[in-house]
Amino acid sequence: MKSQTSDSGIGAGDGVFTRLRDLQAPWAWSFAGAVLVWFGIVGVFGFGIASNVAQTALTYGVFMVLVGLGQMLVITSGVGNIDLSVPSTIALAGVIGMHVMGGSDARVALGVAAALGVGVAVGLANYVLIRLLRIPPIIATLSSSFIIQSIAITQGRQLPPPPPALGAFATGRFVGVPYIALFALALSAALAVLLHRAVYGRRLSAIGQNARAAWLAGVDVHRTRCVAYVLCSMIAALTALLLAASSGGASLDMGVEYMLISIAVVVIGGTLVAGGKATIVGVWGASMFLYLTNAALNALGADAGVRAIVYGVLIVAVTVAAGGKTAR
């Protein structure tokens, strides 16, 4: 009788701990951090300034979301997979897109197609270096970024302004919500369906967890990973057009700050660094957290170097914390 009571108690305790673990969703911490930082801004600068910062976060923080969604796909494909060519892809796609559009509304669709073509080409080139030449992803994408940036420099002279229609979309709002935020939400929903409802998403997750087991189960590992790199570069290309439209034109350095940020929002948002588990909601939470942190540091007079240190410390802290949970 005593043993039955004891077993029942253990089972009940396990159930409680299981429910507690379910509540500790990784993405929840990023949203909690964003809320705490916002209240900190309220305490230091007042509610009016904090409200304006929150509104701008829905515009400029969305760019962090977009690059993070692309990087998330690559990181989910397995340990060691990362794309460091995102900044140079943004530069080249923005330059090519603005050249093709020529400032004309009638050529917007053609410019978008050209930018997406740049994304496809970069993604394929990156994976060719990784697969055929057997270069580690971090080296392959970093090396390709120098080549891509050099090509962008040759094309980055006398750029026309963005078409008025594209500029209106990048700066417009619907019921107070920026169009680009709605676009990012739609893209997030599409990726959620791809990752959690489509066959491709299950294959990508399986490869990230154990590539050899996925291969033995009949999954085409290299094709699946190649698609992840291509999608990452295509999302970076779309981000380039929106950045150029919102800032009044493309520039060669407009993607520089997104190399570290694209990794930070993925890691802080709860996506496993070792691969196999993507968290789209976490990318949003981490992007808002980092944008608000960036805004607070700017208001306090911190330079770009200090912000980079903060991002690096946050990535290390979250990675160590995630590693500790896995070990336990």
| Cα–Cα distance, 45 to 41 (Å, whole number) | 6
Torsions phi, psi for 174 (to 5 deg):
-125, 115
Cβ-proximal residues to 186 (8 Å cutoff; 6+ apart), any chain: none
| Cα–Cα distance, 170 to 161 (Å, whole number) | 13
pLDDT at position 12 is 44
Tokens representing 172? Answer: 């417009």
Q: Which residues pair with 173 in a beta bridge?
A: 178
Using CB atoms within 10 Å of the CB of residue 238, give its burial: 0 to 12 exposed, 13 to 18 middle, 19+ buried: buried
- Set out the domains of the chain in order of their start, with CATH numbers: 27-327 (1.10.3470)
> Which residue from 216, 227, 207 is spatially nearest to 278, judged by alpha carbons?
207
Mean pLDDT in order along the chain per 10 residues (328 residues):
44 44 64 87 84 86 95 94 95 94 94 96 96 92 94 84 93 90 96 94 94 92 96 97 91 88 90 88 92 84 78 74 51
DSSP string, 164-226: HHHHHHHH-EETTEEHHHHHHHHHHHHHHHHHHTSHHHHHHHHHHH-HHHHHHTT--HHHHHH
